[in-house]
């Protein structure tokens, strides 16, 4: 594999800045990798090759003129297909928006362009971000580059698979119940869910507005911090955006020291349902923290046991409201409009054929939870549980600086294995959902491989607006992991029997 493909984004940026390579060469290498692997992985739904090469050439002209827009100027990036992009389709993995090109752009995407990053294209996802495996996409599932018979996580499996397979050094994701962190864990990548409101949601097609949060997907902790810095900050176009400066996340990523840090291990997120390899890698990583001078204690968050049930009432309720805009009138798919049907029939036919099975399931649940006579019983009760989850976090952070848990109870499962069992699928997000309910910062970092050679992730959770703590712990874990046997990509290449696509 080309050295340009395995380099971190910040290393590529420095090579471009010093003239040792150029953005066109880097971009072309990644476009070649996409062409070689996307047929097997289905990570990209749209590849903007010509536009990417034009943007790369512009970056090279800036360098020649002595200009640099940011520390990531000229570096390629992939964008999850629920971010509105000028000049590129935004489908959200659904037939409902097939071929739709937005007339405006997400704030985060505009910030990427302003920082000189090169957009490679749009990545596959579960339909409207509804899923934990990227199997509900109307355009076919994405496959895990570690084993093509396994899922890459969801809903942002396309972004995670693209970064894991070196098709892009960076990617954008969005996290509603774990859609950045869970794919990160099962693909060996780094996925960060910033504090809710820390990164603008303007122009990100809404799933559940009180839960959604954009964030970075990378292979390097410093890369994640640099991308987070470009993405983040207040946006007057987003009413939920926090008018506070970002903490010093890049400096924290470089620190790589956890001495004196108080680390809480969440008692409720372990035991039955957690694979032995996941618990073993998690235990080893906790031991690394303790050996490095962190104070490790067990904490109890009893309301977390009810977080999954609360989430699957709040999320479908907000989803039902947000997806009501897809009515076959204003934009998107329109079926049955031949003059023989009234508007109600056109809307019904369009929604019936335009939405997939999982989307319909969640829409029905959400509509029922908000219906007259049931609102307080279901949606109202779920919001009370949400408050209890937030209070558990508050009490835990009184005695701890960060919390750690497994990111997922299992490693990547096989394609099709859970499609007929929604509850088994939903449990993939068991550890990640509490942070979305509370709005705090959380991230997944690789901590090793299972006995089958599949990645395992550890989740770090920090209080709201303390995102720098995620990067401090993540930087340490990255250094310690590499000292145990090198980067995960290199380990997979050397592993007997490995099914990774880069072997």
In-domain check, residue 175: yes
In-domain check, residue 463: yes
Q: How far apart are the C-alpha atoms of 190 and 362, rounded to whole Å? A: 28
pLDDT value at residue 498:
82
Q: What is the 3-state secondary structure (H, E, C) of 11-23?
A: HHHHHHHHCCCCH
Query: Which one-letter DSSP state was computed for residue 29?
Result: H
Residue 102 has pLDDT above 70, yes or no: yes
- Tokens encoding 324: 């009501």
What beta strand segments (E) does 341-500 contain? 402-406, 441-449, 455-462
Instruction: List beta partners, residue 298.
Output: 265
In-domain check, residue 378: no
Q: What is the dihedral of CA 152, 157, 159, 161, to 10 degrees?
A: 20
**pLDDT tens per residue across span 87-96:** 999 999 999 9
pLDDT value at residue 349:
84
**pLDDT tens per residue across span 385-441:** 999 999 999 999 999 999 999 999 999 999 999 998 888 899 999 999 999 999 999
In-domain check, residue 327: no
Q: How far apart are the C-alpha atoms of 445 and 433, rounded to whole Å? A: 17
H or E, element range at 247? none
pLDDT value at residue 352:
87
**pLDDT tens per residue across span 34-83:** 999 999 999 999 999 999 999 999 999 999 999 999 999 999 999 999 99
**pLDDT tens per residue across span 266-295:** 999 999 999 999 999 999 999 999 999 999
Are 264 and 396 contacting, i.e. CB atoms less than 8 angstroms apart? yes
Are 322 and 290 contacting, i.e. CB atoms less than 8 angstroms apart? no
Are 108 and 138 contacting, i.e. CB atoms less than 8 angstroms apart? no
Q: How far apart are the C-alpha atoms of 401 and 407, rounded to whole Å? A: 18
State which residues form the domain around 452: 2-304+385-491
What CATH number is given to the structural domain containing 297?
Answer: 3.90.1300.10
Report the chain's C-alpha Rg in angstroms: 21
Residues present in the chain in total: 503
| Buried/exposed code over 95-109 (b: 16+ C-beta within 10 A; e: otherwise) | bbbbebebeebbbbb
In-domain check, residue 149: yes
Torsional sign, CA 292, 295, 298, 304: negative
Alpha-carbon distances, residue 382 vs 124, 300, 388 (angstroms): 30, 20, 10
pLDDT value at residue 487:
75
Across the range 445-460, mean pLDDT stands at 96
Confidence of residue 493 (pLDDT cuts 50, 70, 90): low
Helices of type H across 239-324: 249-255, 276-291, 307-322
Are 420 and 429 contacting, i.e. CB atoms less than 8 angstroms apart? no
pLDDT value at residue 496:
75
Residue 503 has pLDDT above 70, yes or no: no
Helices of type H across 292-370: 307-322, 343-354, 357-369
From the list 290, 218, 220, the residue with the least C-alpha distance to 259 is 290
Across the range 332-351, mean pLDDT stands at 81
Tell me how crowded residue 166 is: count the other CB atoms within 10 A of its CB. 23
Q: How far apart are the C-alpha atoms of 60 and 118, rounded to whole Å? A: 11
In-domain check, residue 103: yes
Helices of type H across 141-211: 157-164, 181-187
Q: No. of H helices and E strands in the chain?
A: 18, 11
Q: What 3-state DSSP class applies to 497?
A: coil
Bigger pLDDT: 337 or 400?
400
pTM higher than 0.95: yes
pLDDT value at residue 80:
98
**pLDDT tens per residue across span 184-194:** 999 999 999 99
Confidence of residue 173 (pLDDT cuts 50, 70, 90): very high
In-domain check, residue 210: yes
Alpha-carbon distances, residue 86 vs 110, 155, 347, 392 (angstroms): 9, 22, 27, 42
What beta strand segments (E) does 186-272 contain? 190-193, 214-218, 262-266
pLDDT value at residue 490:
72
Query: Which one-letter DSSP state was computed for residue 112?
Result: H
Q: What is the mean pLDDT of the chain?
A: 95
In-domain check, residue 363: no
Catalytic residues: 80, 155, 179
Confidence of residue 153 (pLDDT cuts 50, 70, 90): very high
Residue 340 has pLDDT above 80, yes or no: no
- Tokens encoding 348: 């019904």
Q: How far apart are the C-alpha atoms of 406 and 425, rounded to whole Å? A: 17
Strand bridging mode 262-266 / 295-299: parallel
Contacts of 383 (CB under 8 A, 6+ apart): 310, 314
- Tokens encoding 244: 């506070």
Residue 122 has pLDDT above 70, yes or no: yes
**Number of domains composing the chain:** 1
Q: How far apart are the C-alpha atoms of 4 and 12, rounded to whole Å? A: 7
Q: How far apart are the C-alpha atoms of 175 and 237, rounded to whole Å? A: 20
Bigger pLDDT: 333 or 461?
461
Share of the chain above pLDDT 70, in %: 99
Residue 328 has pLDDT above 90, yes or no: no
């Amino acid at each position: 594999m080309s050295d340009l493909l395995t380099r971190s984004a910040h290393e590529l940026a420095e090579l471009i800045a010093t003239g040792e390579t150029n953005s066109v060469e880097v971009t072309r290498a990644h476009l070649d990798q996409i062409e070689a692997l996307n047929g097997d992985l289905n990570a990209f739904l749209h590849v903007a090759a010509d536009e990417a090469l034009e943007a790369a050439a512009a970056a090279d002209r800036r360098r020649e003129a002595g200009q640099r827009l940011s520390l990531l100027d000229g570096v390629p990036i992939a964008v999850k297909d629920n971010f509105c992009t000028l000049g590129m389709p935004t489908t959200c993995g659904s037939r409902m928006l097939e071929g739709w090109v937005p007339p405006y752009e997400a704030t985060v995407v505009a910030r990427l362009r302003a920082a000189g990053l090169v957009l490679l294209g749009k990545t596959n996802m579960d339909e409207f971000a509804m899923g934990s495996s990227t199997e509900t996409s109307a355009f076919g599932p994405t496959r895990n580059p570690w084993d093509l018979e396994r899922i890459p996580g969801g809903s942002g499996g396309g972004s995670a698979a693209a970064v894991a397979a070196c098709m892009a050094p960076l990617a954008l994701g969005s996290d509603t119940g774990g859609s950045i962190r869970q794919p990160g864990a099962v693909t060996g990548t780094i996925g960060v869910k910033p504090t809710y409101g820390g990164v603008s949601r303007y122009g990100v097609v809404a799933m559940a507005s009180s839960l959604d949060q954009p964030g970075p997907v990378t292979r390097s902790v410093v890369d994640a911090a640099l991308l987070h810095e470009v993405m983040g900050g207040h946006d007057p176009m987003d009413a939920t955006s926090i008018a506070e400066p970002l903490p010093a996340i890049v400096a924290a990523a470089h620190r790589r020291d956890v001495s004196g840090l108080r680390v809480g291990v969440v008692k409720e997120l372990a035991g039955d349902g957690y694979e032995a390899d996941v618990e073993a890698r998690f235990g080893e990583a906790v031991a690394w923290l303790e050996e490095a001078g962190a104070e490790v204690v067990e904490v109890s968050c009893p309301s977390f046991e009810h977080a999954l049930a609360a989430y699957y009432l709040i999320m479908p309720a907000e989803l039902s409201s947000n997806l009501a805009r897809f009515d076959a009138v204003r934009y998107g798919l329109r079926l049955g409009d031949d003059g023989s049907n009234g508007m109600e029939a056109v809307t019904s036919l369009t929604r019936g054929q335009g939405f997939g099975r999982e989307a319909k399931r969640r829409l029905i649940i959400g509509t029922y939870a908000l219906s007259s006579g049931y609102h307080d019983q279901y949606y109202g009760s779920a919001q009370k549980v949400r408050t209890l989850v937030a209070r558990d976090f508050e009490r835990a952070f009184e005695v701890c600086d960060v919390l750690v848990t497994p990111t997922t109870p299992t490693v990547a499962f096989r394609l099709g294995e859970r499609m007929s069992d929604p509850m088994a699928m939903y449990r993939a997000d068991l550890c990640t959902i509490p942070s979305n309910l509370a709005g705090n910062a959380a991230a997944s970092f690789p901590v090793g491989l299972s006995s089958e050679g599949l990645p395992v992730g550890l989740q770090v959770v920090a209080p709201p607006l303390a995102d720098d703590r995620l990067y401090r712990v993540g930087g340490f874990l990255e250094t310690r992991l590499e000292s145990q046997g090198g980067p995960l990509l290199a380990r997979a290449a050397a592993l007997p029997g490995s099914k990774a696509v880069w072997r």
